Chains A and B, each alone.
Chain A
Amino acid sequence: MVLPEIFVFGGLLGAVYALLSLGFSLSYGVARILNLAHGSFYMIGGYVYYVFLTLSGVNSVGSLLLAVALTFLLGIALYLGLVRPVRSAPVRVLLITLSAAIVAQEVVSLSFGDRGVGAPFIIGGISAPFGVVVENQRILAAGVSLAMFLCVWLLIRITKLGRAVRAVAQDAEAASLMGINDTRISVITLGLSGATAGLAGALLGPLTGISPDAWLNATVVAFAVVILGGLGSIPGTFLAAFLVSYSQITVAFEISSSYEIIVPLAVIAVAVLVRPKGLLGRVEE
């Protein structure tokens, strides 16, 4: 067994999975929206980073910030334009977000072609933590992801806005009676959801390439992480992200990378059958 490799690669991937899944968990936990277009923010974040960095001459940090800003706005646009009118009907929310994801894929495909694009790294070079050779970009992606995850968690825990978010998550009607604007909180949550996924796409895109259909795998991973961690639970999302990534990396190294994609799907099936509320979740539905 190649333990150092599994430890290093699983940990680095888990950090990005945590960031990718955070918004998915928030959008359900706060706004009760199962957003199947969540992976689209990941895909669009990767493309925005690529476009500004390689075609517009914006530097890598600027491109990263633009990816975050644009996916934040797209998250808001998705909520106001498509989700809000049908929010009271969960099935219609699923259908409309799935449709939005497919439309986004087609728009990107028509603009940039079916084949993926690859953007240059923010930082080049390699390092060898625990003797495992790994790109510095991968370490940076994990570090930024963890930092962003921590920032969002602190935002939710200690700020006034965070208290409002938590209040809406616990009881939207009661929060509304206390003077909290439910719609405003949902708008911010969806924007934040888009921005975190977009950042994950911009960070991981240079390492994995980004293609119009990248949203699907990203949505499946986020779905698996959040189902396993517990819908709406931020600590559960964090824990589950690493469980999924370590499972995937172990399967890739010890069995075959051909079975890697099965892991998140198996996680969804097992979690739904055995523990529907997830590891740290409170909601069982």
Chain B
Amino acid sequence: MARSAAIAVLVVIVIAAVAGVVSYYYVSTAPASTSTSTSTATSTSTSTQTITSTGISTITSTSIKTVTSTGVQPITFGILGPLTDVTGIDEKEGAELAVAEINAHGGVLGRPLQLVYEDTQEADPTIPVSTGLAAMNRIVTVDHAQVIIGGERSDVVLAEEQQLPKYKVPFLDTGAADTSLGQQVIANYSLYKYFFMVSPVNSTSLATGLISYYGYFHYMEPNLTKVYILAEDIAVWHALVPVLQAYLPALGFTIVNPQSGGADYFPYGSTDFTTQMTNVRNSGAQVICILAAGQDSVQLIQTWANLKVPAIPMGIDVASESPSFWGQTNGGAEYETIEVGIGDTGTPINTVGANFYLNFSKYYNTLPIYTADGAYSAVYIAAAAIEKAGTTNGTALIPYIEKTNMTGPDGRILFDKSHNVVYNEDYTKGGALSMVQWTAYNTYTPVWPPTVAKPITLPPWM
């Protein structure tokens, strides 16, 4: 028995050693920004970072205490999201960038901002909603966040929204897209007024932007009219597909799906797309309208590229918004065209967006995704509200957040009655979206809106 126990211990040690070596090697070969963010995300709930002229350096809890010992109490913003996933990492980094900028200019009400973090793990679809709720409880009651910034998965954020009447803390959502989040605010304002969606990412905005782009694409490429709708089998796309089925024919497209519902839904988390790509090829489609929120699109796009399917994928693909997508697909992402916040494209629509994109790319050595500019904007929105209100009291801040009228990376930030940021193709009047095409490693080329568009490139096998 003792021998067995010794062998078991030995096995565990060997496995741990192998895992340690592998993870060390992986981390040491990853971009600097990844290693920085991962180590911080997994280890900090009470530390924060700042950006200096020489780059990002971590402020330890000791230096936070130094700030406190001067008699100036920091204002605490909580980052609540999937901190080991790219969406959460970008939330964290976008917020850190804004906090560093604000602190460099004297903070808010003469007090520095500090960030605290709690990991909801919500990028993993198997993680229950309760994990997010526990993290939310910690960030308010243990970390004492006075504003919450984050959110990614709609079911998790919907549950978190239900807790807001209890905590009475403003929640600035940077990722969840479900329109019912805003409808709750309208239906029961006194309870849910604390919720705000700070980027133009709700499903209505996404659909409006996508349809507008398809209209523009039809004008530019009038011979490519056969569309195959390929979507994950999740609620948000089931809501969006009927809208596309109604509008695309009106724009001059023909939907060629052989499925009875006129769309091909695949399970969230699928890993093999040969069936779908064979169906696309057999249907004679020239365009694949892709709707994917999960990491499954890595295999989808790789299979599309490997099989040289003669239809260009254009749609919403969250995984593809990450710069690592190119590498994940071994370059298969080339020619894919996706919808993103215009602030993530590097298109200089305004000074704020240009500086944000430049600084984010410089300090983190990667390109921002939508949660980064959302969190960046959220920090500025909350900071401005606190400055005007003269307090950090959550309920007192709400009227000031509602009256936000500022320029962010995605355009003008205004809130409607549902506390969703106003979407407008004219980025001087609201938050705008853009369609970008992967054209090289780390390179998106904007192909819509027309004011910033370059011609779309079709794959050579089309």
**A interface list, Cβ under 8 A from B:** 2, 5, 9, 51, 55-56, 77-78, 80-82, 84-85, 107-108, 110-118, 120-121, 124, 126, 132-135, 137-138, 207-209, 211, 213-214, 217, 249, 252-253, 256-258, 260-261
CA distance A124 to B306 in the complex (A): 8
The distance from the CB of A130 to the nearest CB of chain B, in whole angstroms, is 12
- Whether B307 sits at the interface, judged by CB under 8 Å, is yes
- What is the bound-complex CA distance between A78 and B10, given in angstroms? 11
- B contacts with A: majority SS: helix
In whole Å, how far is B268's beta carbon from the nearest beta carbon of chain A? 10
Q: Interface code B29-49, partner A: CB below 8 Å = 1, 0 otherwise?
A: 100000000000000000000
Instruction: Report if B208 contacts A (CB, 8 A).
Output: no
Please give, as numbers and ranges, the residues of chain A lying within 8 Å of B270 by CB-CB distance: 257
Cβ B298 vs Cβ A77 within 8 A: no
Q: Which of B302-330 contact A (CB under 8 A)?
A: 302-303, 306-308, 319, 328-330
B126 within 8 A of A: yes
Please provide the 10 A-B residue pairs with the shortest distance between their CB atoms, ordered closest to farther.
Answer: A81-B11, A208-B271, A111-B23, A85-B4, A252-B275, A81-B8, A115-B295, A77-B11, A209-B299, A114-B124
- Residue of B with least CB distance to A86: B4
| B265, A208: Cβ atoms closer than 8 Å | no
Q: In the complex, A113→B123 CA distance in Å? A: 11
- A211 to B299: give the CA distance in the assembly, Å: 12
Asked if residues B11 and A80 are in contact (CB atoms below 8 Å), the reply is yes
Interface residues of B (CB under 8 A from A): 1, 4-5, 7-8, 10-12, 14-16, 19, 22-23, 25-26, 29, 84-86, 121, 123-124, 126, 233, 259, 264-267, 270-272, 274-276, 278-279, 281-282, 295, 298-299, 302-303, 306-308, 319, 328-330
What residues of A have a CB within 8 angstroms of the CB of B126 in the complex?
Answer: 213
Q: Which residues of B contact A84 (CB under 8 A)?
A: 4
> How long is the Cα–Cα vector from A112 to B26 in the complex, in angstroms?
8
A118 to B330 CA separation, bound complex (whole angstroms): 8
- Chain A residue nearest to B28 (CB atoms) is A55
Establish whether residues A118 and B299, one from each chain, have CB atoms under 8 Å apart when the complex forms. Answer: yes
Find chain B residues with CB under 8 A from A82 CB. 8, 11
Given contacts A55-B29, A77-B14, A114-B85, contact A258 B306 (CB under 8 A): no
Q: How far, in angstroms, from A252 to B14 measured CA to CA in the complex? A: 41
**Set of chain A residues within 8 Å of B84, measured between Cβ atoms:** 113-114
Cα distance A261–B275 in the bound complex, in angstroms:
14
Residue from the list A78, A207, A256, A258 in contact with B272, Cβ < 8 A: A207
Given contacts A133-B278, A253-B275, A257-B270, contact A116 B298 (CB under 8 A): yes
Residues of B within 8 A of A260 (CB): 267, 275
Nearest chain A CB to B131 CB, angstrom units? 13
Question: Which residues of A lie under 8 Å from residue B25 when comparing CB positions?
Answer: 51, 55-56
Say whether, besides A118-B299, A133-B307, A85 and B8 are in contact (CB < 8 Å).
yes
- Which residues on the A side are within 8 Å of B10 (C-beta)? 81
Contact in complex: B271, A209 (CB < 8 Å) = yes
User: Is the CB–CB distance between A256 and B298 below 8 Å?
Assistant: no
| B275 cross-chain contacts in A, Cβ below 8 A | 5, 9, 249, 252-253, 257, 260
Q: How far is the CA of A82 from the CA of B9 in the complex (A)?
A: 10
Closest chain-A Cβ to B295's Cβ sits at a distance in Å of: 5
Contact B267 A2, beta carbon cutoff 8 Å: no
Minimum distance in angstroms from A60 CB to a CB of chain B: 13
Beyond the given pairs A55-B26, A110-B19, A135-B306, 8 more chain A to chain B contacts, judged by CB atoms under 8 angstroms and listed by A's residue number, are A5-B275, A77-B15, A116-B298, A118-B330, A133-B308, A213-B126, A214-B271, A249-B275
